[in-house]
Structure 1
Amino acid sequence: MTTPRQRQFLSLQAGWMLLAIALLASAGRLTGELVFVASFVGLVVVTALTEPVHATVDWRGRLRWPLAVGALVFAAFVAVRTFEKFVGSL
């Protein structure tokens, strides 16, 4: 059973992702890489903004793994782009 806070978190994340996809599509820049980056940034922002100040909630501890994997994938995207720019400039 989900709590109201979990539903709020999921609604905010889904809304962020849909808005990001709509904006990227309207700008003609809809790629998997940019959708991932926008979604990951949204996950980080929504996680930070909805974190309770004076309480520890168990389900938020499970967000650690998606955030860690997302950070690794984001770092891989940055590394590949940096390598492409470096090799392209030679």
Structure 2
Amino acid sequence: MCIHSDDFKAYAELCYKEFGDRVKLWTTLNEPYGLSFHGYAIGGHAPGRCSSWYDSTCLGGDSAKEPYLVTHNLLLAHAAAVKLYKEEFQVL
């Protein structure tokens, strides 16, 4: 997965600035488990990656490593977006 927490933070900042006056409740990532497990461990969802020992029709990948790397990066991106919101956009 090619998501960098700084890129996601910049995207979140744009959303906060453009829509913050109309949105009361924010969520950063929708179903991160589905993305990491189903996309990178068993290959059932996009991008369809998994190990050949799991499913010979997968598009490549490593079911023992990639889901953890993806989850790590998703957590970093989520944390960056939440920190930005709390420090610069949250109205108490």
Please give the TM-score of this superposition, normalised by the length of structure 1: 0.37
| Structure 1 or 2: more helix by fraction | 1
Q: RCO (CA 8 Å, sep 6+): is it higher in 1 or 2?
A: 2
Please give the TM-score of this superposition, normalised by the length of structure 2: 0.37
